[in-house]
Amino acid sequence: MNRKSVKLKRTESVLKEILSEAIATLSDGLLKSVVITEVDCKRGKYDADVYIDQTFMDDEEKIYIKKHLKKVRGYLENYTLQNEGWFRCPKFHFKFDDRMQKKEKYDMLFSKIEKEIGKKDD
């Protein structure tokens, strides 16, 4: 398992908080509703994958959000630099977090297996 340093974990936590604040300042109502679930820094903090909760989004909204977040990436990076006083900000890459959907699939699969095993025992 890849262990991250405490400093890197703190940076990811700070980025998650600041990005949530920055997104809340945008004028676009749909973008304001975006919830960041995780930030994962890579390449020595030069890049950061920003994971977005996709729970209540349809495909059109996902396309719109991803496209517009890419457009405002510069603003978000500048906002981060100004608020933290950093010399350099990671380049943000926005991705949708599908962990909840995977968890639901696994839960359904396990419950199906449990029912199958229950039937065999009868």
Residue 109's pLDDT is: 82
- Confidence check: pLDDT of 3 > 70: no
What domains are there in the chain, each with its CATH number? 6-121 (3.30.300.20)
Residue 120's pLDDT is: 67
Nearest 5°: phi and psi at 49? -85, 125
Pairing of the two strands 91-97 and 36-42: unpaired
Residue 121's pLDDT is: 63
Q: pLDDT of 14-25, one tens digit each?
A: 999 999 999 999
Q: pLDDT of 48-99, one tens digit each?
A: 999 998 888 889 999 999 999 999 999 999 999 998 888 888 999 999 988 7
Q: Which residues contact 41 (CB under 8 A, 6 or more apart)?
A: 8, 11, 12, 15, 47, 48, 90
